[in-house]
Amino acid sequence: MKKILLWMITMVLLAGSVFACKTSKGLGTSGIPDLGEVKRSESLYGQNKEAVLAEYELSTDDIVGDVNTWYFGLNNTRSIGGLSFLYRLAFNERENYIGQDLEYIGDPGSTADEETVKAVKTIYQEAVKKYGEPENDDSVVVRKHLSDRNKEDQEKITYSTYDIWHLGEETTLAISIEVLEGRVIISLKYRQNGSIQLEAKENP
């Protein structure tokens, strides 16, 4: 798992240094996606890459890395809680679309960064405002919840957390906060039901 996260860090940092930040007419640029955006993504479940790229008005110039892989990044960004998130598109082994992620990878030392700590709270609050309270399934993942962490009012992010929402009948959202070597990694995974996998971690 750590190797995968380190690879993700490398790819995101590469995207930030090589590509100028841009937006697409097909993708939102600020805030937690609303339910209309979620429905739009749902309408593409099972479609191939070409259809998904066309719907979001994306070209190969928007892709970071190899488009022939099942999971690749875009150089499109979205501002959430004052932080800049990158989009990633996810497909299954049959190359059918199963959803999209938004990811933020902080700099070393971001676990104690005031802006990042504030953003974590803001992101959770905005998700509750748009989607209601999370519906966590602790039989899937054993980990502290982001909602519990926010109640502690900590000034530093010291452990990994997650919360899950079931958005309608087709989509699951998992918001996870990972702590890796002094960095904070925030992921919002909007996936077709049954396609989200989270690593089980014991509560600290």
CA distance to 24, 25, 47, 59, per residue, from 54 (Å) = 11, 11, 11, 8
The pLDDT of residue 20 is 36
Asked whether residue 82 is assigned to any structural domain, the reply reads yes
* Domain range for 71: 2-192
Instruction: Count the domains in the chain.
Output: 1
| Dihedrals phi, psi of 158, to nearest 5 degrees | -115, -10
Closest-CA residue to 87 (of 106, 73, 108): 73
Asked whether residue 122 is assigned to any structural domain, the reply reads yes
- DSSP H helices, 161-201, are none
Q: Identify the band that residue 143 occupies on the pLDDT scale cut at 50, 70 and 90.
A: low
Residue 109 has pLDDT above 70, yes or no: yes
Asked whether residue 203 is assigned to any structural domain, the reply reads no
Residues in the chain: 204
Asked whether residue 198 is assigned to any structural domain, the reply reads no
Asked whether residue 97 is assigned to any structural domain, the reply reads yes
Enter the tokens of residue 49. 């890459």
Q: Identify the band that residue 26 occupies on the pLDDT scale cut at 50, 70 and 90.
A: confident
Asked whether residue 174 is assigned to any structural domain, the reply reads yes
**What pTM, to 2 d.p., does this model score?**
0.83
How open is the CA angle 83-120-29, to the nearest 5 degrees? Answer: 35
pLDDT tens per residue across span 46-85: 999 999 999 999 998 999 988 889 999 999 999 999 999 9
Strand partners, 184: 179
Asked whether residue 33 is assigned to any structural domain, the reply reads yes
pLDDT tens per residue across span 145-190: 887 777 776 788 988 888 999 998 899 999 999 999 999 999 999 9
Closest-CA residue to 186 (of 97, 98, 115): 115
Asked whether residue 137 is assigned to any structural domain, the reply reads yes
